[in-house]
Amino acid sequence: MSDDKLIYFFGGEQTEGGTELKSLLGGKGSNLAEMAKIGIPVPPGFIITTEACKQFYDIGETELMKKLKPEVEAYLERLEHATGKTYGKGPNPLLLSVRSGAALSMPGMMDTVLNLGLNDETFEILIEQTGDRRFALDSYRRFIQMFGDVVMGISDKDEYGNTFDPLHKVMDEIKEKYNVELDTDLTADHMQEVVDACKQTYKTYTGEEFPQDPEEHLMRGITAVFRSWNTPRAVRYREIHEVRGLLGTAVNVQAMVYGNLGEDSGTGVAFTRDPATGENIFYGEFLMNAQGEDVVAGIRTPQPIEKLKEIMPDIYSELDEIRHKLERHYKNMQDIEFTIEKGKLHMLQTRIGERTGTAAVKIAMDMLDEGLLTEEEAILRVPASDLDQLLHPRFDEKAEKETELLAKGLPASPGAATGKVVFSADAAEKAKDRGEQVILCRIETSPEDIGGMHAAEGILTSRGGMTSHAAVVARGWGKCCVAGAGRIQIDYGKRLFRVNGKVFNEWDWISINGSTGAVYEGKIPTVEPKMTGYFARLMDLSDKHRTLGIRTNSDTPKDTESAIKFGAEGIGLTRTEHMFFEGGRIVSFRRMILVAERVKAIKDKIRDAEGDETKIKKIKEENRQTLSQYEKALDELLPLQREDFKGIFRSLEGRPCTIRLLDPPLNEFLPHDDAGKIQMADDFKVPVDDVRSTVRALEEINPMLGHRGCRLGLTYPEVSDMQVRAIIEAAVSIVKEEGIKVEPEIMIPLVGKTEELKLARERAEAVIQRIMAEHNVTEEEIPYKIGTMIEVPRAAITADQIAEEAEFFSFGTNDLTQMGCGFSRDDAGSFLPEYLRLGIYERDPFQTLDQDGIGRMVQTGTELGRKTKPDLKVGICGEHGGDPDSIKFCHRIGLDYVSCSPFRVPIARLAAAQAAIEFGTEIPKKEVTLVV
Amino acid sequence: MSDDKLIYFFGGEQTEGGTELKSLLGGKGSNLAEMAKIGIPVPPGFIITTEACKQFYDIGETELMKKLKPEVEAYLERLEHATGKTYGKGPNPLLLSVRSGAALSMPGMMDTVLNLGLNDETFEILIEQTGDRRFALDSYRRFIQMFGDVVMGISDKDEYGNTFDPLHKVMDEIKEKYNVELDTDLTADHMQEVVDACKQTYKTYTGEEFPQDPEEHLMRGITAVFRSWNTPRAVRYREIHEVRGLLGTAVNVQAMVYGNLGEDSGTGVAFTRDPATGENIFYGEFLMNAQGEDVVAGIRTPQPIEKLKEIMPDIYSELDEIRHKLERHYKNMQDIEFTIEKGKLHMLQTRIGERTGTAAVKIAMDMLDEGLLTEEEAILRVPASDLDQLLHPRFDEKAEKETELLAKGLPASPGAATGKVVFSADAAEKAKDRGEQVILCRIETSPEDIGGMHAAEGILTSRGGMTSHAAVVARGWGKCCVAGAGRIQIDYGKRLFRVNGKVFNEWDWISINGSTGAVYEGKIPTVEPKMTGYFARLMDLSDKHRTLGIRTNSDTPKDTESAIKFGAEGIGLTRTEHMFFEGGRIVSFRRMILVAERVKAIKDKIRDAEGDETKIKKIKEENRQTLSQYEKALDELLPLQREDFKGIFRSLEGRPCTIRLLDPPLNEFLPHDDAGKIQMADDFKVPVDDVRSTVRALEEINPMLGHRGCRLGLTYPEVSDMQVRAIIEAAVSIVKEEGIKVEPEIMIPLVGKTEELKLARERAEAVIQRIMAEHNVTEEEIPYKIGTMIEVPRAAITADQIAEEAEFFSFGTNDLTQMGCGFSRDDAGSFLPEYLRLGIYERDPFQTLDQDGIGRMVQTGTELGRKTKPDLKVGICGEHGGDPDSIKFCHRIGLDYVSCSPFRVPIARLAAAQAAIEFGTEIPKKEVTLVV
């Protein structure tokens, strides 16, 4: 390609260029050229390159257009030769379309002007040629309207400030005048009136007569396309979507063909396979005697593509051949547009077809079988996030469409759910016990609501974002959740919510779509997801190609079982605290908290008395009751936790299990409403003021940065001891009594400094050694590990030191994002949406790992850790472990595994395989000086 | 030195080793040897090395003691030769002392056993020799007591569990029996009874007779010293204080001398200069006919050292010569101990003398003049933190000692203050207006209290740590503050506080010592600090040697002036928000907040209507009132801020000034008590529920990680615009009208990602260019800079990117510590003390920069920033900017300047000079892989 070549021709054998020149010819143009090149009938035309657009801005409009004009004339002549027609002249006038088309589809640019070449003269010839005056008039008025709107930017505002298109308004007025409803009902005479009125209006708004020089039309059209590249809207679109490195837009100039020249003409759109199911059938629709926009407008009902077989069997078989040719050529399902003009087929567009997740999987597997794709290509063909659709129930599509939308929240956890409205966790649990389906509606949820959230079919909150408590918990369970539906005003007191002037009482039916955020009135039938054999095959293929391990975040045997069914290779995160909320154990846990502070004070006294055994004994004597309450509470929790772990170990069938010790601040376990406090005081026979003051004492200004994680374990070591004991005793029991292998990995959370891990590890080791000795078990029998979560920035940056005490790292990227970016995910709602709008962050860093920043911390932490221990096992257990882009990043920086919620395990398997194929296993590095 | 040499001799010309062997001989031993070597009379002895102690643990006690025994015997023989006495035998028995002594002074190890060599036989000879039976008996009982206690560990507990020493108890019983008060009142016969009783008690507790073999005494004594190196207490002390790399403790065996052998004997302690003032006078005290412990015990009042001139002029002049010799030799002020035995002077110890800050400065400058020290040595001789004493008022020492301590809090901001108790900022301000001195007592302070805090003499809080709001603000002002005095229970309602059963009402007098944390009842007279010429000279010298710039954190012209007087070279941090709290401006600021949220909603609507001018106009029309309220509030603030900046620029006299744009969350500016809300509603004529709901809407779960810093500036850009405008207009006015140079550096806070800085910078640039154009001012006239605070971990780790948009970096290490370590400084009180106790952090990371972690972030950020811009100006403006160790770190990693509160500027200057001398200007580096 020469630098000077600014125009490419396409049409039959003269075609220059093809898809390989996409960046120069744009998406649309390069595909037209490609089709022409492989012998598919395409109306000929030429493409002015994106390079020309670049020069338009580099050397200026006047200069470029001056340089371009003779070339356009030359290519126009070539086009006239190819079509045997003459542009803007009789006897056989060439009519053209002008379209923009950058390498990426981009809203905000000029779209299309059709029927260039018409003027008062050629329009008469058109009547003559087609014998159809109304057609010619209709074509002419369309041209004037498009030219006026798109090229000249004619537009106006009504008295209310609403924008309208004057050229379409005159037509509406004439329709009104003749009391005509559809455009097609206008007669030729009416249409003449429209054309005249459009010309008049054009003059009113532009101050000039509608131009009659077709060359001027063409050059103005080309200029308009170039200009549209830099409208504020287009510039902003590129900024926000970080579209960079494009030269500009190409301009496609193409001979017009008409599907509305009688009953041997027509137009249609089709997919080369069924885009909903993926079935290998020709799928599309067409209209005879119609133009493309008529199919889209939906005024006449199009016919299914098979019907064409009956009406025009030759055309159908030509089209079907083209369908196969395109698929073989592009190795992908195509979305095509065609027009039949007087019995001759013309292809107007081909592009990769959009499809559902189900279709994506089936098409990829079918094309693999058909030999069109290699395994690698087939794996890359399915967007990992699309699998989500295959794993959750959906609403019946038709029924959903017919139901009125009440409100829209955030699509916080995919799936569909229908149920009766309840406003408390308690009500949800009781209803579930009675066998009723409910949707739990809360302003926000808190850990106290866990039981009710689990019992509900779905969760709806009026406040909170994609990473609010409700959203995170729901995604963990694969339960449908719509979060932050702000227009729903919940009144707990009256047990109702208001939205759009309507009132919904408790026990009214609603439906929510967690994939779209939609909230509906009443019941909508749901469709269970279909898990096909194709899916299983794709998963097997993924496993064959991936190198990254996939684990799951799970706190229960049930979730663990479903994760394993989905292909999880172990547990990457068990949050022991979730277990504390269940049933009666919250009572024991609260008893422990209530005395823990007092125990701490007693221990301080004992410490002060160090060396003086008599005094220590006396202190213990005096506080016997408090100390025994503490022990009693821990003793109550021990067997419960042990059973929890046994259940999980059993369901893992020998797979490894990372268990995080107690993490959240103690305050999260206490009741925050007064009724709860009174109840708690009553439970423990203490004054309610004791409960209130404990709650108050544990309140924190920034709980995220407060007394939690290993800080709890180090200040209340008996709690960690109990947890470690429960883990190891459970392991002993499962190994010894049930003969199942157990690989417990005890994870110390929120470590920031080596010394924390060292102390916690030593304490845990002591407990473990004691229990293993008691039960006469060896480390070969229970190959346990002790490691840490890297979630404090300090830990990431000093990971070389921390690795000295750790047998594994698991990056907790949720908290690492909070602390690393300084974003409280509970509060970020006040500025993060604005940040996304301003393009400061391209995507919500809580959903997709912020690779440049937090990702750099993860990579640095990994590198530093492995500098100390080259074979350190490193994984990630934040929410990002289920996000395809983040998973690919984890693969690239050489992590050993990602851990995600059970329902995202298949997505992770596929994304990991894609990463291995796309990036290989080389870890990219650039060294800088970091002082250690 | 040979590996086998485990014992060193000292005494006269035979002396082996000296201070150069401190690590092998310990501190005490090496100084004894050194004195002997330079001809100072020291009772001879020998030192068993720390290497021997190491072998004691390496090869085991039995093995080492077996190996050591013949060597000890050989050295004992040598000592006998040197003294002409025989150990454990007549006719001239040698008596010995055994003392431990590591290279660093270390509590927790065995201290001293005196009078070894006494037994029933030699004791009789001693009577004969001295003719003083009581002296011999007294020496013997001391030996039995020390040996029993220190070597044998005899100890017991009473019925209440209190530990007691049975060997001292028997003596007390005998004193009681004879109704005798002082030890000295016991007659020889009484003393005989004591010796007998001690022997009996020894037998009771050890099951053996008191041993009579002096060699056994010696070997047991040596063994006890070695064992004491590894007692749990000593091990823990070394762990906590990170004392590493020591071999062990040495054992000093030395001939005894006695100061209690009559009126020609005596003992004393002295400093070679006055340790309080630094004056070059001999300063000390002595007692005739006494032993060392008698001077310390304070039973008899010692005489000042000059008196010795009269009593024993020869001894005095010998001592005075030694004093000068030691100073010339050690080039430092010494703390010495001596004994005169029958008219002969013996030196028993010399070590570097402790001194006050004032003395340290004077001594260093004097010794420089005297030619004893070089400039560098003189600078290194003054601990930078000691300067603090020179800069704040103190209590009259005697008066303070005599006043009863009420409670102890944290020494949050140094100085002393006396005043009447008040409980509200308002009361403090009003009292100040009346000319009354008050101490503001609060549970905690908040930004609302600023006015009252400023008006008070001192601040006392019952909650909060060294970096609580009260502490930080007080230190900034150099105002005395005691924080977190937990035992003081403040009752705002009743306007009183309770402590130790006492009640203090409003207007009662108290006194607080911010350097020690002490709280006293009543008034204590204060002494103003004396700033001497020596101090100025030390500062000049420091400036000559330092390379690090020193700026100050200051928000007012007054503070700026005092900082400049202290030597600040500019402002490193002006917090614009502190100005908003003053006087009436809080009203304007609150008005702004009250409408800001509504304005944001309006702007969203306008944005949605983009391109539709009519609609936009309509929205603006409808919300005219809200928008104008917003503008009005900002318009009110503009001239106030402008005047603030003018004042500061004026006081800076051309020095650079870093101004941080609005940083704290808006909620901090709103009233949180109901009365305040009602008042605010009344001020603005809005329903109080509007105020309440605004306060509620701005509440955050983790305000530290919330809507603050540049997040405010990006979501409410008009506020930043106003601030930037005020800065530049002030600069224009000062430059144009007053002819004073201005170098404003606009600092965007809390940047985490380049894009934030880019947007904020562009917006600020637009405002600046507009104003400079309006006033026809060039960038040469106002050489402004725009930079950022690096305080979010993400920013530190992506500083290479951020530097692209920044002209300077200032590390905000307070917040960087909070986010980097994940510690909320408001909440860390629940675990940080325990962390310090456990040795997880050696020092509070909010007081001294955590060099390993947060320091690594600072260094990484600096390196990365300069990778992009090699001459990027980098400073630090967190609290650490005033901490000597942190300042030295900043020097080492190559920062351009530190910024600290005015009162710490001198400390910073000295610390910076010390850093330059200690570390030079080479930046130490070790490369690791960091992926960027």
Residue partners of A91: CB distance under 8 A and separation at least 6:
A125
Cis peptide leading into residue B845 (ω within 30°): no
Q: Please give the Cα distance from A384 to A914 (Å, whole number).
A: 9
CA distance B930 to chain A (A): 5
Q: How confident is the model at residue A470 (pLDDT cuts 50, 70, 90)?
A: confident
Q: Average the pLDDT over each of A609-618, B273-282, B735-744 and give the range with the smallest value.
A: A609-618
Annotated catalytic residue: which of A190, A392, A454, A469? A469
* B contacts of A611 (beta carbons < 8 Å): 163, 233
pLDDT in tens, B1-19: 345 799 999 998 899 989 9
pLDDT in tens, B43-58: 999 999 999 999 999 9
* Mean pLDDT (whole number) for B528-549: 91
Q: Please give the Cα distance from B246 to B240 (Å, whole number).
A: 15
Average model confidence (pLDDT) across chain A = 91
Nearest to A416 by CA among A475, A455, A456, A458: A458
Asked if A794 and B827 come within 8 Å (Cβ–Cβ), the reply is no
Asked if A853 and B797 come within 8 Å (Cβ–Cβ), the reply is yes
Residue partners of A373: CB distance under 8 A and separation at least 6:
A331, A364, A367, A381
| Dihedral sign for Cα atoms in the order A808, A811, A815, A818 | positive
**How wide is the angle at C-alpha A873 spanned by C-alphas A867 and A878, nearest 5°?**
110
Residue A479 pLDDT more than 50?
Answer: yes
Which pLDDT belongs to residue A340? 96
* Mean pLDDT (whole number) for B231-235: 78
Question: Any CB–CB contact under 8 A between B924 and chain A?
Answer: yes
Residue B927 pLDDT more than 60?
Answer: no
Residue B896 pLDDT more than 80?
Answer: yes
Q: Please give the Cα distance from A638 to A557 (Å, whole number).
A: 18
pLDDT in tens, A68-113: 999 999 999 999 999 999 999 888 999 999 999 998 877 667 778 9
Task: Point out which residues pair with A7 in neighbouring strands.
Answer: A48
CB contacts under 8 A, B 704-723 vs A, are: 704-707, 709, 711, 714-715
Question: Any CB–CB contact under 8 A between B243 and chain A?
Answer: no
Q: Please give the Cα distance from B141 to A837 (Å, whole number).
A: 86
Annotated catalytic residue: which of A481, A877, A890, A900? A877
In this structure, chain B runs to a length of: 932
The answer to whether A45 and A11 have CB atoms below 8 angstroms apart is: yes
Task: Give CA separation, B778 vs B740, B764, B785, in Å.
Answer: 15, 16, 13
Which pLDDT belongs to residue A298? 60
* pLDDT, greater one: B855 or B454: B855
Question: Any CB–CB contact under 8 A between B603 and chain A?
Answer: no
* A contacts of B465 (beta carbons < 8 Å): none
Task: Give CA separation, B194 vs B175, B479, B659, in Å.
Answer: 9, 56, 75
Asked if B794 and A821 come within 8 Å (Cβ–Cβ), the reply is yes
* pLDDT, greater one: B36 or A833: B36
Which pLDDT belongs to residue A240? 64
Which pLDDT belongs to residue A931? 47
How many angstroms separate the most distant Cα atoms in chain B? Answer: 120
Which pLDDT belongs to residue A3? 59
* B contacts of A601 (beta carbons < 8 Å): none
Q: Please give the Cα distance from B330 to A893 (Å, whole number).
A: 58
Question: Any CB–CB contact under 8 A between A930 and chain B?
Answer: yes
The strand pair at B93-94 and B496-499 is best described as: unpaired
Among B446, B620, B702, the strongest candidate for a mutation testing the A interface, having the largest count of A CBs within 10 A, is B702
Q: How far apart are the first and last CA of chain A?
A: 52
Question: Any CB–CB contact under 8 A between A70 and chain B?
Answer: no
The answer to whether B469 and B703 have CB atoms below 8 angstroms apart is: no
CA distance A705 to chain B (A): 5
Among A467, A599, A621, A702, the strongest candidate for a mutation testing the B interface, having the largest count of B CBs within 10 A, is A702
Which pLDDT belongs to residue A501? 83
DSSP structural state of residue A91: S
Which pLDDT belongs to residue B932? 44
Task: Point out which residues pair with A408 in neighbouring strands.
Answer: A518
Nearest residue, CB atoms, B793 vs list A700, A819, A859: A819
The model's pTM is 0.84
* B contacts of A798 (beta carbons < 8 Å): 852-853, 856
The answer to whether A261 and A130 have CB atoms below 8 angstroms apart is: yes
* Mean pLDDT (whole number) for B149-165: 82
Q: Please give the Cα distance from A580 to A577 (Å, whole number).
A: 5
Task: Point out which residues pair with B458 in neighbouring strands.
Answer: B439, B480
Asked if A755 and B839 come within 8 Å (Cβ–Cβ), the reply is yes
Which pLDDT belongs to residue B214? 94
Which pLDDT belongs to residue A878? 87
* A contacts of B841 (beta carbons < 8 Å): 753, 755
Return the C-alpha torsion angle B722, B727, B728, B729, nearest 10: 80
CA distance A148 to chain B (A): 19
Which pLDDT belongs to residue A1? 39
Helix and strand element counts for chain A (H, E): 37, 35
Q: Where are the alpha helices (DSSP H) in B180-231?
A: 188-206, 214-228
- Give the H or E element holding residue B442: strand B438-442
Residue B910 pLDDT more than 90?
Answer: yes
Residue A925 pLDDT more than 70?
Answer: no
* Mean pLDDT (whole number) for A572-592: 83
| Dihedral sign for Cα atoms in the order A217, A221, A227, A231 | positive
The answer to whether A809 and A861 have CB atoms below 8 angstroms apart is: yes
Average model confidence (pLDDT) across chain B = 91
Which pLDDT belongs to residue B854? 96
Q: Please give the Cα distance from B672 to B658 (Å, whole number).
A: 31
Q: Token pair 């960046």 is at which residue?
A: A23
Among A445, A696, A699, A819, the strongest candidate for a mutation testing the B interface, having the largest count of B CBs within 10 A, is A819
3-state helix, strand, coil in chain A (%, to 5): 50, 15, 35
Token pair in block for residue B734: 């000062």
* A contacts of B612 (beta carbons < 8 Å): 157, 161-163
Residue A926 pLDDT more than 70?
Answer: no
Question: Any CB–CB contact under 8 A between A2 and chain B?
Answer: no
Q: Please give the Cα distance from B578 to B561 (Å, whole number).
A: 17
Concerning whether B469 is annotated as a catalytic residue, the answer is yes
Q: Please give the Cα distance from A251 to A223 (Å, whole number).
A: 9
Chain B: residue whose CA lies nearest to A840? B755
Residue A23 pLDDT more than 60?
Answer: yes
Q: Please give the Cα distance from A466 to A475 (Å, whole number).
A: 10
Question: Any CB–CB contact under 8 A between B615 and chain A?
Answer: yes
Q: How confident is the model at residue B283 (pLDDT cuts 50, 70, 90)?
A: very high
* DSSP per position, B286-330: EEES--HHHHHHTSSPPEETHHHHHH-HHHHHHHHHHHHHHHHHH
Question: Any CB–CB contact under 8 A between A62 and chain B?
Answer: no
DSSP structural state of residue A903: G
Q: Please give the Cα distance from B265 to A226 (Å, whole number).
A: 109
Asked if A794 and B822 come within 8 Å (Cβ–Cβ), the reply is yes
DSSP structural state of residue B342: T
Nearest residue, CB atoms, A714 vs list B162, B818, B838: B838
Q: Is B335 helix (H, G, I), strand (E, B) or coil?
A: strand
CB contacts under 8 A, A 876-905 vs B, are: 893
ipTM: 0.84
